[in-house]
Structure 1
Amino acid sequence: MLIQYLLILAVVLILVFFLRHHGTSRSGATVKIGFALFLVFGVFAVLAPTQVSRLAALVGVGRGTDLVLYAIVVAFGFATINTYLRFKEMELRYARLARAIALRGAEPPAEAQDGK
């Protein structure tokens, strides 16, 4: 019984942290809604494990724990791809910024300075 309270508290803290610290980022509302639904599913799995087993049987998975594991694997894959794409975007921004700084600080060629 205590573990249920601890797990639900952990899920709520993760959700609050996510919503507070990602509010200004470029992650879309769909990502936030999906994450929130995944956390709600986690709370549901903690509170009603037999219902998760029934849901698993309904979708063709043997056990509820397997269904939760599959959901975690998919969520991990999504998070990995999302992080990769963000890093690639940040890398492109830094390259553009470095280019702009280099161009701003560049000196014209010696021929152009002499007026030739």
Structure 2
Amino acid sequence: MTLFQFLLIAAVIVAATLAVKFLPGERSLALKRIFAIVFVAAAVFAIVFPGVLTAVANFFGIGRGTDLLLYLFIVAMLVFATATVRAKARSDARVTELARAVALMEARISEQRHGTPPADAEGTSAQ
């Protein structure tokens, strides 16, 4: 094994560890760990046995193993981008809900300070 292969393996392990450790979302922590282990195993295998990657690429009609890696990387980045956009949309929706709740609470507090009964109390007392 060359020094470069050793450094690549170390970098893959560090990247997977950091991704699992610092990405939010405890619900999917087990899934993240499984994907990290599979990723590390596949990356180490491809680094140690690059000829096998070329054979797999040839099986799929791709000329070189590096081309296969590039195509897989493009697909992975598209999946990552989609997941990121969806997560941001969910986060934006939560922020909107919180902002509405805070605005309603501030309005109720303001009404109570000025002695005006809340809108709910007016509607029930008129009945």
> Would you say same fold, with TM above 0.5?
yes
Q: What is aligned with 1:113?
A: 116
Task: State the match for 1:37 in structure 2.
Answer: 38
- Give 1:67 deviation, angstroms: 0.7
**Following the alignment from structure 2 to structure 1, what is the Cα–Cα distance between the partners of residues 97 and 22?**
26
CA distance in 2, matches of 1:13, 1:71: 21
- What displacement does 1:84 show? 0.9
Aligned residue pair count: 113
| Structure 2 SS opposite 1:113 | coil
**TM-score, normalised via structure 1 length:** 0.82
Question: Aligned residue for 1:95?
Answer: 96
Q: Aligned partner of 1:9: which letter?
A: A
Bigger-Rg structure (1/2): 2
Q: Which moved more, 1:72-81 or 1:22-31?
A: 22-31
Q: Does the aligned pair in 1 maintain the 2:20–2:36 contact within 8 Å?
A: no
Deviation at 1:55, TM superposition (A): 0.9
2:70 aligned partner: 69
Shift of 1:58: 1.5
TM-score by length of 2: 0.75
How many angstroms does 1:17 deviate by?
Answer: 1.0
Q: CA, structure 1 residues 44+69, in 2 after alignment: closer, same or farther (shift >3 Å)?
A: same
Find the counterpart in structure 2 of residue 48 from structure 1.
Answer: 49
Alpha-carbon spacing, 1:83–1:27, altered in 2? closer, same or farther (3 Å): farther
Aligned counterparts of 2:105 and 2:64: Cα–Cα separation in 1: 62
Structure 2 CA distance for partners of 1:23 and 1:94, relative to 1, 3 Å: closer
Distance 1:35-1:70 versus aligned 2 partners, 3 A rule? farther
Percent identity, aligned pairs only, is 33
* Residue matched to 1:104: 105
What displacement does 1:29 show?
A: 4.3
What runs of 5+ residues in structure 1 fail to find an aligned partner?
none
